[in-house]
Chains A and B, each alone.
Chain A
């Protein structure tokens, strides 16, 4: 009799529903866990109080104005911005050229070169940071624009190579043959036919390169010095020694920058490309 009740479809669907609700709640919890730490910086940056409270008491933009009026923060921001823009240029050009050589070239040791170029993605950044400090320190390149540019270019190149290689592999090589057949030389064929067709990939690569530099903190931690400090290094120091909501304001600005840039890449790539 009891067994019958348990076997009834109604009860079974109830337990199934309970299972779905429990599973849904668990996944909801995981998603909340994923999202919370990113989003929490926003209310924190707007909170009146000096310490973190939830819900925040009163809204204010004073931490933003504190950020904008602090010469140290401003110096670090401009320094990082200049480095990130320069890195975007060098890494995108170098990486795109390398991707062409890897996909379309006839180099010996092609796979070895590709593996080596992806190395900075695998090698722990602290190891690279220590190694670059040891190299730059005697040359007085620590804290310098050039030092950061070299370090961040190497860190950003793997992202460019992976992204541009993928879009080159999607590109129909017959189009380049058609351009040659129409009388274009290699350079014209590249700039007039290949590049316009892989442009979304190159743009995405440039965004990756920018963020790889702008958001980078570990290597920056080692190759910064008193004279030249990236925004990452400045944040690291302040989190360790001077935890104020200004950091939340800076974080919010950085998060907004990242999401804006990556979101636009995402949209461009999600849009159906012209066949």
Chain B
């Protein structure tokens, strides 16, 4: 295993009054695959360029394997990088491209370099292409060469800046798998920048979600999905229903939220730090995933259910999406996801009872926005 740990400590990048990255701290273990995920302009690429040494941070430190590299020039950082449009050298052959970082290090003999290049070509399954030029290769092949060049000198850390952005969807899925396979085989630490949620969730050990230069949350894909710590993350990852309500009472882990005159939500001992987010009288926003809601015929839901009216019912393959409005609050609509088999679809204007899976309900203060 060649990977080393990477720590970002209070990293900050300021351009005049504008913060591209603010106060970002993140510890990445050796051999871990971490994605930086966020909308464009969220600062994820800036973090990467600072780690690579192309831009110096305004404040903070970058530590690789226990060594502070904040002031180290980019060519002495020993970090591999795959660029957005590959940045293969157009005037060099594939062999020369992959050999370039080895030559720059000047350590290995000619024969050793050549052997290493052959190994890398085999690893990316492009052995027959050594003497071609980058523009004679397809996008996916160029991408693989870029990965090989970045890994040829066995860097402890590999940075990837939207490496699959230029490929079509099908090829992207193949490449995701290949990159993951290489990473696991070599044990290199990877920081992977993407704005593609599925890509981040399928490939990463952990995903760091960024917005407006801030790290919003970092966790395993499942953690982010099940326990989003903010409304932004809840909204950004997967589908989420939001309903605004008022906090009636909150003590001893029990929270009572009023959604409308006739709909009061009794949340018992579950959830994250609901208590501190929710004080009596405060406006808040309730969030729940579409698959954690159940619908039954009106009157069959019991005391915990809310009365609702079906607005639409759409078949989307393996599931149905049913859009339901609260009976006494028609502007609040919920998307409900129900497994398709055995389900008799509700009709428009059917009266139903809506049941929320209490464990899956999240409560966020209403003021909190991504920009906060």
Chain A residues proximal to chain B, CB less than 8 Å: 172, 174-175, 177-185, 188-189, 192-193, 196-197, 274-275
Q: B73 — which chain A residues lie within 8 A by C-beta?
A: 180, 185
Q: B301 — which chain A residues lie within 8 A by C-beta?
A: none
- Please state if A181 and B75 are interface contacts (CB–CB under 8 Å): yes
**Nearest A residue to B161 by beta-carbon distance?**
A174
**Nearest B residue to A273 by beta-carbon distance?**
B90
**Nearest A residue to B76 by beta-carbon distance?**
A183
- Please state if A188 and B104 are interface contacts (CB–CB under 8 Å): yes
Tell yes or no: B219 within 8 A of A by CB.
Answer: no
Distance of A180 Cα from B54 Cα, bound (Å): 9
Assuming the contacts A274-B133, A274-B135, asked whether A184 and B75 have C-beta atoms less than 8 A apart, the reply is yes
**Nearest B residue to A182 by beta-carbon distance?**
B101
Chain B residues proximal to chain A, CB less than 8 Å: 52-54, 73-81, 83-85, 87-91, 100-101, 104-105, 133, 135, 149-150, 153
Residue from the set A172, A174, A182, A274 with the largest chain B CB neighbour count within 10 Å: A182
Residue from the set B85, B88, B90 with the largest chain A CB neighbour count within 10 Å: B90
Assuming the contacts A177-B74, A178-B83, A275-B135, asked whether A183 and B90 have C-beta atoms less than 8 A apart, the reply is no
- Please state if B81 and A178 are interface contacts (CB–CB under 8 Å): yes
- Please state if A183 and B101 are interface contacts (CB–CB under 8 Å): yes
Q: A175 — which chain B residues lie within 8 A by C-beta?
A: 87, 89-90
- Please state if B74 and A181 are interface contacts (CB–CB under 8 Å): yes
- A194, chain B: closest CB distance, angstroms: 10
- Please state if B74 and A180 are interface contacts (CB–CB under 8 Å): yes
- A84, chain B: closest CB distance, angstroms: 29
**Nearest B residue to A184 by beta-carbon distance?**
B104
Q: A274 — which chain B residues lie within 8 A by C-beta?
A: 90-91, 133, 135
- Please state if B79 and A181 are interface contacts (CB–CB under 8 Å): yes
Distance of A172 Cα from B84 Cα, bound (Å): 12
Q: B83 — which chain A residues lie within 8 A by C-beta?
A: 174, 177-178
- Please state if B75 and A178 are interface contacts (CB–CB under 8 Å): no
Q: B135 — which chain A residues lie within 8 A by C-beta?
A: 274-275
- A128, chain B: closest CB distance, angstroms: 39
Q: B74 — which chain A residues lie within 8 A by C-beta?
A: 177, 180-181
